Amino acid sequence: MGQVVGQVVGQVVGQVLLRLPPEPQSWLIEAGLTDTNPVIISRLFVAPRGRKQGLAEALFQTAWAEAERRDLRPVLDVHHKNHAAIRLYERLGWQRRATVNGNWTDPDGTVPRVHVYLPPR
């Protein structure tokens, strides 16, 4: 749907994208998102050489603003072990609304827990 990349000295060191939620959307309903037009802010990543420069927050804010510009309702699905991302989202006021089972299997064979966040109102 849309991707933004971050660069440091001409090299791509980060990315974020907006993606439509997969069907079915029961996990979104469980999180209390019953309105239309949800979009997931996804795949926020900053390589080690790009960290500690505010790039993750800048990429995230850009994706969030773009979702709202398109009149879409941004939502996050965050692996429960992704503590750095969770700290960022909560610092920016996003609220955990549910924890659900992921729809994939981790490399160790377990089904991960996924936290669902909605933006501050």
Tokens encoding 109:
């064979």
Q: Which domain does 61 fall in, by range?
A: 2-118
Tokens encoding 20:
């439509």
pLDDT digits (tens, 9 = 90+) for 62-115: 999 999 999 999 999 999 999 999 999 999 999 999 999 888 899 999 999 999
Q: How far apart are CA 70 and CA 51, in angstroms?
A: 29
Q: Strand, helix or coil at 45?
A: strand
pLDDT digits (tens, 9 = 90+) for 19-43: 988 775 777 777 777 767 899 999 9
Q: What CATH number is associated with residue 32?
A: 3.40.630.30
Other residues' Cβ atoms within 10 Å of the Cβ of residue 81? 10
The number of domains in the chain is 1
Q: Residue 5 has what pLDDT?
A: 46
pTM for this structure? 0.84
